[in-house]
Structure 1
Amino acid sequence: MSTTLGLLGVPSSAAAHWPGQEKAPAALRAAGLIRLLGEAGLEVEDHGDRPVVRWRPHPTERRPHNLSQVLQVLSDARAQINSIFEAGQLPLVVGGECTLAIALYSAAVAHDEDVALLYFDGGQDLSNAPDNPESVLDGLGVGHMLDLPGTAPALASFGPRRPLLSPERLCFFGYGDPEEDREGLVPSTRFPASDVRPDPRSAARRAVQALGADRFVVHFDVDVIDFYDLPVADVPLYNRGLTKAEAMTALSEFVAHPGFAGMTFAEFNPDHGEPDGSTAHVLAKALAQALGPLAKP
C-alpha cells in the first residue's frame, strides 16, 4: 500500500447529541486542510465530501436514536472507504461523528480480517442502552462493533462478520472519561489519559505492541483534547483530556508505524471554536503535522 492519503469528508451528525458536527469537513477545508497537508509533504487524493446529514430528533426511533439514518450514512461511507482501500490509499475520513469508526473498520476488515483498531477517544463508547438512556449512537459505536448485550442487531451486524471486532484486536487510548466496562465484558488493553500524559510517544508505541497485529486503523476523536486547551470537541472534556501537543505527538507515533492503515478524524464541532475559523485552522494544522511521518523523503 502506498502512503497516499485518500481524503473523504463525511459531514454527518446523524448519530450525535445535537447538530454541529456536520459542519466539520467544510470548516477544515475552509481552514486550509488540503494546503496544509501538501505543505507537510503529504500526497493526497481528494475524494470529496458526502452529502450533508444534519441531526434532527427522530419521531419514533429513540432507542437507539435515529438508527435507520445512521445506517444509511455508514453504508454510504463504507462504500467510499472501500474504494479508497481498493485504490491502494490510506483512508483519512474526516467526520462527522464517532460511528464513522464502524464504517472504517468494516471496510478495513473486508481487506484484512486481522486488522486491529486503536480507539483514540475521550471515552470508550461501550455503554449499552440501560446505562445510556439517551441512546445516542456516537457513544455506543464500540459496543456495537463488539456486539455487547443491549446493542441494536441491525448495527451490530453491520460488516462482514458479527461481531465485527474482538477485544484482543482493540486498544483504548487516551480516554479521560470514567471506565465504562464495569462488568468486565471487554478485556482489551487500555491506556487512560493519565498513563499517556507523562510520555505520549512511549505510550503510543506500547499501545501498538499490545494490539499484536500487522495492520491497524486509528479512530481519533478530538474530545481526547482538553476543551480548555483547544475548544473543538462536540462533547467536551474539562481538565481530564490530553493537551493538543500530547494528543498529536501520540497520533504521529501511530502514523509512523508501518502497520498504520488509515484513520477517522471525528467529533469536531466548529460552532465551539472561534467564529473566524481560527480554531479550525489550529486543528487542521495540528492534524497535518501529526500526519507528517507519511511524507515521502
Structure 2
Amino acid sequence: MTPPAATARRWGVLGVPSSRAAHWPGLEQGPAALRAAGLIAALEQAGLHVTDHGDRPIARWRALPLVTGRPHDVDGVLEVLDDAEPAIAEVIASGETPLVLGGECTVALALVAAAVRVHGDIGLVYIDGGQDLHLPADNPDEPILDSMGVAHLLDLPGAVAELAGRGPRQPLLAPGAVCFLGYADDDEDVHGLAPSVRVPADEATADPAGAAARAVAAVAAGPDGARRFVVHVDVDVLDALLLPGPDIPQYGSGLTLDTLVALLAPLVAEPGFSGLTLVEYNPDHDLDDASATRLVDGIAQALAPQRR
C-alpha cells in the first residue's frame, strides 16, 4: 500500500479506554474526555478528513492478587489488546491512518501488531517520559505492565510470553526499528538490551526539528528500503506543572506542549508515517478540564497538513 501524501491523509479515530495495565483507575476516562474537549471538531477545523470509529469497551483497572513472576492483571490486558488490535487493523486496511486514543501505554502493542499485519515491516518513534523497558523480574515491587510495553514489543528476556508473542512475528520490533524521543527518565535499560537511538528531553527541547529528523532517520530505513513507522505519544512526556493531566507526572523535567507539537508535526508530515497513539491523559488529574482543551488544540496543530 503506497503511503498517502500527508495532505490527502484520511484519519480514523479509535478509542481504547483501558486502565487495566496502569497503576490505578482513571485512564479509562481519557478518550471520552478528549472527545468532550472537542478533539474531532478541532481536527476537522485544522483541515483533516476524520472518521470517528468510537470507543472499544471500557476496561477499568482492577485489584487482583499477584502471581509470582508475572505483572498485575496480564489476562485483563490481553483481553483489551485482543479486542483493540483487529479494530485498529480494520482502520488501517480501510486506507485510514489510525489515531488511537488511550488509555494506557500497552495500546502501543495493539497498534504495532496491527500495523505489522497490514504493512509488514514497521518502525516506532516512542515519545514518552520514560522508555517502558522495565522487565517483570526487575520490578517485583511495581509489577505494572504500563511501564513494560516496549520490553514486550522487543521480546526482551523475561517478557510475558502471551504479550511478546502477539502479532505475526516475534519479536514485533527489533531495537534498531525503535527511537526513544523526548524522555527524561534514562535509567530503564539497566541491562543494555535495547541499543536503540535515543534523543532525550534536553536535546529534543533544544532542537525539535532536528530531533524529529534524527528519529525518522533511525526508524524509517529498513533492511529492504524505506520502512513505514508509527508514533506513540504518552502525555507524561510533558511537564505536569505546566499541563496537569498525565497519569504519572514529571515535575520540571518534561517537555512543554509547544515542544511536543514541534516534534510531532514533522513526524506526521512524513509520507511513511502510518499511525499514532495518544495515551495516559487522566481526567482525574485535570480538575478544570483546561489541560484537555490545550492538549486537543496542540494535537490538532501538530496533525494539520504541513507545508513542506
TM over 0.5: yes
Give, in whole Å, the separation in 2 of the partners of 1:270 and 1:250: 24
- The residue aligned with 2:293 is 281
Find 2:256's aligned residue among 239, 243, 248. 243
Gapped runs of 5+ residues in structure 2? none
Distance 1:168 1:206 in 2: 13
Q: Say yes or no: does 1:257 pair with 2:264.
A: no
Residues 1:291 and 2:303 are matched in the alignment: yes
Contact 2:47/2:305 (<8 A) preserved: no
Alpha carbons of structure 1 residues 54 and 294: separation in structure 2 relative to 1, 3 Å:
farther
With 123-132 and 263-272 compared, the bigger mean Cα shift is at: 123-132
Distance 2:306 2:50 in 1: 11
- What is the root-mean-square deviation of aligned Cα atoms in Å? 1.5
- CA offset at residue 41 of structure 1? 0.5
Shift in CA distance, 294/260, structure 1 to aligned 2, threshold 3 Å: farther
Match of 2:28 among 22, 46, 59: 22
Secondary structure at the counterpart of residue 293 of structure 1: coil
Aligned residue pair count: 295
1:170-249 to 2 correspondence within 5 Å? 170-211=178-219, 212-213=221-222, 214=226, 215-249=228-262
Give the structure-1-normalised TM-score.
0.96
Q: Deviations over 1:47-97 (max 9, x none)?
A: 111111111112355721110010010111101000001100100000000
Give 4+ residue runs of structure 1 displaced > 6 Å after superposition: none
Shifted more, 285-294 versus 184-193: the winner is 285-294
Is the 2:113–2:172 Cα contact (8 Å) retained in structure 1?
yes
Identity of aligned residues (%): 53
Instruction: List alignment gaps of at least 5 residues for structure 1.
Output: none
Which whole-Å deviations, capped at 9, do the CAs of 1:167-214 have from their partners, x for residues lacking one? 111111110112311221111100011111101111101110122243
Alignment counterpart, residue 136 of structure 2, candidates 129, 133, 152 = 129
Aligned to 1:11: 17
Name the SS for the 2:86 alignment partner: helix
Contact kept in structure 2, 1:122 and 1:177, CA below 8 Å: yes
Structure 1 residue 278 displacement after superposition: 2.2
Q: C-alpha offsets along residues 126-146 of structure 1, whole Å, 9 cap, x if unaligned?
A: 111232221100100000111
For 1:17-54, what per-residue CA distance to the aligned partner results, in whole angstroms no more than 9, with x for missing partners? 00010000110111111110111000001111111111
| C-alpha distance in 2 between matches for 1:164 and 1:210 | 17
Contact conserved, 1:177 with 1:240, CA < 8 A, in 2? no
Whole-angstrom CA distance in 2 between matches of 1:294 and 1:115: 23
Distance in 2 (alpha carbons) for counterparts of 1:184 and 1:137: 20
Contact 2:122 2:173 in 1 (8 A): no
After superposing the two structures, state which structure 1 stretch, 59-68 or 92-101, moved more: 59-68
More off after superposition, 14-23 vs 179-188? 179-188
Tell me the CA shift for residue 113 of structure 1. Answer: 2.2
TM-score, normalization: structure 2? Answer: 0.92
- Measured in 2, the distance between the counterparts of 1:282 and 1:101 equals 23
Aligned pair 1:75/2:82, yes or no? yes
| CA–CA separation in structure 2 for the residues paired with 1:179 and 1:253 | 28
* Residue 92 (str. 1) matches residue 111 (str. 2): no
Partners of 2:120 and 2:199 lie apart in 1 by 24
- The answer as to 2:275 corresponding to 1:267 is no
Distance 1:61 1:259 in 2: 41
